[in-house]
Structure 1
């Protein structure tokens, strides 16, 4: 995500100004009338600073995310599997950290406002560690197919999603079982984790579906914002994932840790969590991240892509 950004038309105009007082400066003329004309002299260093301050255009962000999607779709199965398994284990630290904070805080209305910050820990490990997380690739995997629709592309997306999701869930099964069995011998943390799990599962499938759509949107937003984060990805990841916890939204991978913990603890049946959590949450995350965010993101740059392609054909002709 560290690709060099294009210089905007405004800066390009500055660089190609008609007047050049010296080899290291350019003149920019901007006026409402000939009598009021003012000339601004900018050095190459100043022009370079302008380039650094310019924000990435949506088209540039789209291209960065799309190219990442192309790379992910081309990765071998073994690489995807082990990266996804690692992510499933890592995301468990979101639940464990939040439970640890909750167990240390008094039982008050403001306690969740602090404990929810712990939810971001696992996502920081996963995203900064470049591990494969299902909800993070719902956007990146879809954009290449939207740009060049084909059955082969759809198959590649389904292959990527299936491998990563399966690997994520295997990791969460291991971590969730460890929490329920109190392998760390922290009974107060285990009880807090089970309380979080009960709260997460205590909703109808419709509610979980809708909350999962919102969570999918926020996770896709992370992927869209990171290219223009300018060296501050941590703040973006923490803010978006904190919102997921604060609003009680449903995330298929993090929520799987909670669901498994309840099954191992004997409080839920496997059938109930599959029908009541996994299916609606999976559908909601996919809809929010792919069908909604990806389509809207592509729609805002589609015209620019077509115009750029048309200009390229004209120049070749």
Structure 2
């Protein structure tokens, strides 16, 4: 049938044209792009704050297991490539695999939650919202650690990987532990900032979401920063295989890295992002009041 003579096609085309006209007419009334991104992330954060605690926990455990793909891929690249000039740039691509799985599967990752629900709390800093945020952080962090611990134990004891790959896991973990507590914290601030930046970019990324995740998390690896979830897999592998005592996981790794990720994602990126939006909102409100005052 000729599409021009198809009444259904004609009706659909008319509806699409009307929708386009409505969008064009409303463009001037839309907030700035930054405000639109802020509102999108804030609404997502509200949904996360209200989720059932068991749903959050299971999603966080799944995320911890999925993040093991970062160590798996990076370890395989490390073992196969060996050491040559520039090998780290290729090896670091493996680091991105876990993030791609977790984010595209909408699983709960702690470092994502250092910005998404925080914007909602900053918008309405009530005691109840703060308690909901702390509950969310505690449940997601616990779930991530459970998932990563299971993965680290499996990597160390299940007869899956040959000795060269297991040796690569060992070297990757020991490289993390070369950092002092101060370096753990400072590098975690950088990775927290990068993850928060990535979360801010995703709503406007469209079909390029995977590329945004790939490049931003590759940057975390290339910069040799520390990350509480990926690093937990790397360090717990050493603990479970007897290369490190449990105390070394808690300090110098976990506590400084956790605080650094929170600082980079929440106290720096989220605060600055929210501050610019508050200024835009105040300016918009002032402009509206001035406009109303000049009306006859």
TM-score (norm 2): 0.86
RCO higher in structure (CA 8 A, sep ≥6): 2
Contact residue 182 and residue 190 of structure 1 kept, 8 A:
no
SS of residue paired to 2:106 = coil
Q: Which residue of 2 aligns with 1:300?
A: 276
Q: Which residue of 1 aligns with 2:4?
A: none
- Measured after TM superposition, the shift of residue 309 of structure 1 is 5.1
Which structure shows the bigger proportion of residues in helix conformation?
2
Q: Which residue of 1 aligns with 2:260?
A: 284
Q: Which residue of 2 aligns with 1:168?
A: 144
Q: Which residue of 1 aligns with 2:242?
A: 266
Distance 2:70 2:184 in 1: 19
Which of 200, 211, 228 is the matching residue for 2:187?
211
Distance 2:161 2:70 in 1: 18
Pair 185,57 (structure 1): closer, same or farther in 2 beyond 3 Å: closer
Contact residue 66 and residue 143 of structure 1 kept, 8 A:
yes
Which of 76, 82, 85 is the matching residue for 2:61?
85
Long gaps (5+) in structure 1: 1-43
Long gaps (5+) in structure 2: 1-19
Are residues 1:73 and 2:87 paired?
Answer: no
- Measured after TM superposition, the shift of residue 306 of structure 1 is 3.0
Highest Rg: 1 or 2?
Answer: 1
Pair 183,55 (structure 1): closer, same or farther in 2 beyond 3 Å: farther
Deviations 1:40-89 (Å, cap 9, x if unpaired)?
xxxx78x96xx7xx996100000001000001000000110010000000
Are residues 1:118 and 2:94 paired?
Answer: yes
Which of 156, 163, 181 is the matching residue for 1:187?
163
- Measured after TM superposition, the shift of residue 250 of structure 1 is 0.4
- Measured after TM superposition, the shift of residue 275 of structure 1 is 1.4
TM-score (norm 1): 0.80
- Measured after TM superposition, the shift of residue 107 of structure 1 is 2.0
RMSD between superposed Cα atoms in Å:
2.2
Are residues 1:64 and 2:37 paired?
Answer: no
Distance 1:133 1:245 in 2: 17
Aligned residues: 268
SS of residue paired to 1:231 = helix
Q: Which residue of 2 aligns with 1:223?
A: 199
Mapping of residues 92-171 of structure 1, within 5 Å: 92-171=68-147
Distance 1:83 1:186 in 2: 30
